[in-house]
A and B are shown apart, each in its own frame.
Chain A
Amino acid sequence: MQHAQPVTVPAETLLEWYRTLVFCRRFEEQTERSFRRGKIGGYLHVAIGQEAVPLGFLSAARADDVFFVSYRDHVHTLVRGTDPGAVMAELYGKLGGTCKGKGGSMHLFDVSRGNYGGYGIVGGHIPLAVGAAYALRYQGTDRVCLCFFGDGAMNSGALHEAANLAGLWGREGLCPVVFVVENNQYGMGTSVERASAVAELARRFDAYDIPNERCDGMDVVVVYEVARRVVDQVRRTGRPYAVETITYRFSGHGAADLFQPYRTKEEVERWRQRDPILLLERRLRQEGLLDDARVREVEAWAEQRVQEAVAFAEASPEPPPEELYRDVYGG
């Protein structure tokens, strides 16, 4: 397990990350409220508690790198800079959404920012990321591909077939992919211990000769330090690398997961002591970069930005009936 390292991140960046984490948290909380009000339909999987992982990794990636995500994809999309109004509008099923309202919560895309999407079948997007990584090298670039997925995906055949290919192609320097395991302890309601014969998930990549490590997924600074080193190495070598980030979701698996019989309140409370926002706030206060007034300022800014996103989503028109038949074929 990787622990906190000396901070090499400038104060301004730390403050920016704090603002981003608070904003993403308020955004996700708003989506839960909007879901309960019937504004958002279908499935809704929020990443409350897990925000430091996408923020740390995507901060370490270059603007021209690409990534693939599971269905828990809101925060990845937001931290990559996609307009929050477009994200909220997608959840609201509106034309102004990232995918014109045709994908919804599980399928946020923004290809202009290298976001090749969220996918709804556990593990199903991992082979795509391996092929994407091959393509980036085939095209003669030094771009890398990040592939985010949960601990549940570690037991899918898709992960293992994709990891084997990555191991093979990586030997030739042709597979610059970073596997980012977002181990939030549960695949829906089944704990890692009850689902994986080897509970230390990172080690399973040993089988494919893919270097791997575990790291704290709650401290964004730790995540970033690991991510920067790993992303640089993958970019340099064209070989895959896997990082198992240890994180936790404070909300249910999805909006329907109300009673959570698989875990105790005490367990959730224990993890809340390591809330990524709390950890960063503590660090910033210790360094004199944050005080109560500044916290209130950030909260107000975040809340206003969320409400602007909601207003945009509300005002955006529904996709017109013609959209039903668009984008099935390219011609």
Chain B
Amino acid sequence: MPEMTYREALRSTLVEEMDRDPRVLLLGEDIGVYQGTFRITEGLLERYGPRRVIDTPISELGFIGAAIGMAMLGLRPVVEVMTWNFSLPAADQILQNAAKVRYFSGGQVSVPLVIRGPNGAGVQLSAQHSQSLESFYGHFPGLRVVAPATPADARGLLRTALRAEDPVIFLEHAALYGMRGPVPEADYTVPFGQAAVVRPGRDVTVVAYSRMLHLALAAADELAQEGVECEVVDLRCLRPLDMDTVAESVRRTHRAVVVQEQWPLFGAAAEVATGIYERCFDDLDAPVERVTGEDVPAPYARNLEKLAFPDESRIAQAVRRVLQ
């Protein structure tokens, strides 16, 4: 299997799908001439021309709304948001139009739209540029919400998203773009709503997604030296949420830690923990632990930022607590 970066996995999948399907077109700020803030769209303007690779003004409400209209008329637009924080001016379009128009039209229209870009914190971007919006978007029926953690899943989930009939919130992570990994070639897809057991273990289930998956795996390595075997589950997709895979694992390990980068209240970890209690309360030998970001706006200073978000040692400590 060839190796490539998360960035290359995204870019090559866009290219393959644009070659295959003329309905796919790209919109976003500085995706064309500038070639993309994170260079996911490098060379694509030259390859496909300005009708298919549209440099937009800084006008998220406008161009995300327009992309929804394009999708309703049968195109398959892919919007790049420079970061997911910039999707908030367009939240009305995404939540009130894209997520619901199929329903309130009685099934007369589809919105095959992908909105993709980096989500989350960790690179000293301070309060307005470090948010994780998965539970915000995950709250709304009608949307699909995915958060790949590896180059292979970035490829497989993006291809699924590009061929889907629904609006997809595609959450990448800036800290992962340069990450290398094996990536299956050709028509590789990962279906929505399928979590993956990425490291088997008998003692405790650690549930994570996106960048947090790699911290969970590092914590699992550390704990293995103490003789603790973590089973690490990558959710990959927040909506639909694959609680079956999580519950199956917890029934084997009887203990669970759920990790998220975002704030604790009403977060994805609360949802997963509740799902564990609902499905396997009697299998649990300890209360479910959550490891989350601190309940503060993201600070700029490096030392404060490190305190504000989960790291390997906090995950390892949570694992030790559920094992006590």
Contact = CB atoms under 8 A, between A and B. Distances in A.
A304 B203 CA distance: 75
A186 B65 CA distance: 26
A135 B74 contact: yes
B65 A128 contact: yes
B142 interface: yes
Contact of A128 (B68, B103, B104, B142): B68
Contact of B106 (A103, A116, A331): A103
A124 interface: yes
B179 interface: no
A79 to B, nearest CB: 19
A23 interface: no
A161 B68 CA distance: 14
Q: Which of A97, A101, A110, A116 has the most CB of B within 10 A?
A: A116
A66 B69 CA distance: 11
A116 B165 contact: no
Given A99-B104, A121-B92, A135-B69, A116 B109 contact: yes
A126 B93 CA distance: 10
A133 B66 CA distance: 9
Interface string A151-185: 00000011001101100100010100000000000
B74 A125 contact: no
Contacts of A158: 61-62, 65, 92-93
A131 B67 contact: yes
Contacts of B67: 131
A326 B107 contact: yes
B102 A327 contact: yes
Contact of A107 (B69, B93, B104, B165): B104
A328 B141 contact: yes
A174 B66 CA distance: 13
15 contacts: A102-B103, A102-B104, A107-B104, A121-B96, A125-B97, A127-B66, A127-B68, A131-B70, A134-B66, A135-B70, A138-B51, A162-B62, A164-B59, A168-B57, A329-B144
Contacts of A128: 65-66, 68-69, 72, 97
Interface centre among B93, B96, B107 (most CB of A within 10 A): B107
Given A135-B74, A139-B74, A162-B66, A330 B101 contact: no
Contacts of B101: 117
Interface size class of A (residues with CB under 8 A): 35 or more
A130 interface: yes
Nearest to B68: A128
A311 B81 CA distance: 50
Contacts of A172: 50-51
A273 B210 CA distance: 65
Nearest to B71: A131
B128 interface: no
Contacts of A146: none
Contact of B105 (A103, A162, A165): A103
A220 interface: no
Nearest to B143: A329
Determine which residue in A117, A124, A128 has the highest number of CB atoms from chain B within 10 A of its CB, and name it. Answer: A128
Nearest to B61: A161
Nearest to A117: B105
Chain B interface bracket (under 10, 10 to 19, 20 to 34, 35 or more):
35 or more
A128 to B, nearest CB: 4
B207 interface: no
A33 B142 CA distance: 35
Contacts of B74: 135, 139
Contacts of B50: 172
Given A109-B104, A132-B72, A331-B166, 9 more contacts: A103-B105, A116-B72, A124-B92, A128-B69, A134-B70, A135-B70, A135-B74, A161-B61, A328-B103
Nearest to B58: A161
B141 to A, nearest CB: 5
A18 interface: no
Contacts of B108: 99, 109-111
Nearest to B109: A111
A127 B62 contact: yes
A168 B54 CA distance: 11
Given A99-B105, A128-B72, A329 B65 contact: no
B69 A132 contact: yes
Nearest to B96: A121
Interface in B47-83: 50-51, 56-57, 59, 61-75, 77
B144 to A, nearest CB: 8
Given A98-B106, A132-B73, A328-B141, A165 B66 contact: yes
Nearest to A112: B108
A149 interface: no
B110 interface: yes
A169 to B, nearest CB: 8
Contact of B103 (A124, A127, A327): A327
B222 to A, nearest CB: 40
B62 A327 contact: no
Interface in B103-148: 103-110, 112, 141-142, 144
B25 interface: yes
A329 B102 CA distance: 8
A80 interface: no
A164 B57 contact: yes
B75 to A, nearest CB: 5
A40 interface: no
B106 A99 contact: yes
Nearest to B240: A329
Nearest to B55: A168
A314 to B, nearest CB: 20
Given A124-B97, A127-B68, A100 B106 contact: yes
Contacts of B104: 99, 102-104, 107, 109, 117
